[in-house]
Each structure stands twice: as structure tokens, then as C-alpha cells.
Amino acid sequence: MKTLATLSLMLISIAAHAETPQQIRQIYATEAAAQQTGFSPSAKRGETLFRQRFALNDKMPACTSCHTDSPLNAGQHSVTGKSVKALAVAANAERFADPAKVEKWFGRNCKEVVGRACTPAEKADFVAYMSEVR
């Protein structure tokens, strides 16, 4: 199932660059449902994940260290000070539009901030929150 989801992400990224956040959320949700029956993405759980302090990394203990307390705001890189575009789709339509890019940044940032790979369920929740937050 994981292979299937990864494969569909890859195929989508090859076939078309522009996807909707809903489609990307659906891919993760399908993957999550295979591991956990009755799974349904929750923006609320996504928000909790966004605000959680993992405190594994002094420079970036939480998502909010760089992305600020509101995903609608542009953020600031906690090491370089460079500006980071807003995460929320409402503030930045380019977000969650390219499955390969979404997968790349979940991969990098989960490893460094959460300290492990995020689960498909967490990714589905996170995408749900970022698509819905106004």
C-alpha cells in the first residue's frame, strides 16, 4: 500500500505538476486508511502537530520556530534569518500543489524537527489543516 501511494505520488508528479491540496491530502489519507481503518484527516489534529514542541533541536524545537504561530504569516528561518513563504494555502496558493515537493519537505523537516519520519496520517492531518486554516 505504501508502495502504491508512493508510486501514485511519483506518477502524479511526473504527469502533472499542479495538483490540488485536496488530492495530495487524499493520497496520504488513503495510505493512512490502509494502516488504520476508518481514518479520516483532521485539520484539528494537524494544527496540534503544527504547534507541538518536540524540543529535539535547539534551533527549531517546533514547526512554529520558523513558520511562526500562524501558518498564514510568512515565516523566518531560525538559522539563516531568510524569509519563508506562508504555509497555509489561503495565504500562498503554491503550497501543497506539487506532490514530490510536499513529500520532500515532509521528509526533511519531520526528520529534523520531529526526529522521525511523519506517518501518512500525520501528513494527511497537516495538509488538511494547512488547506483549511483561514
Nearer to other proteins, 113 or 127 (CB): 113
- Region of 88 please: left (phi>0), alpha (psi -120 to 50) or beta: beta
The number of helix segments (H) and strand segments (E) in the chain equals: 6, 2
Q: Where are the alpha helices (DSSP H) in 38-98?
A: 43-51, 64-67
Question: DSSP label at 95?
Answer: T
What H or E segment, with its residue span, contains residue 31? helix 21-35
Q: What does the binding site for other proteins look like in residue numbers (CB under 8 A)?
A: 57, 59-60, 66, 77, 79-80, 82-83, 98, 101, 108-109, 111-112
CB of 44 to other proteins, least distance (A): 27
CB of 91 to other proteins, least distance (A): 16
Nearer to other proteins, 29 or 86 (CB): 86
Nearer to other proteins, 69 or 112 (CB): 112
Q: What is the largest CA-CA distance in the chain?
A: 42
Nearer to other proteins, 27 or 66 (CB): 66
CB of 58 to other proteins, least distance (A): 9
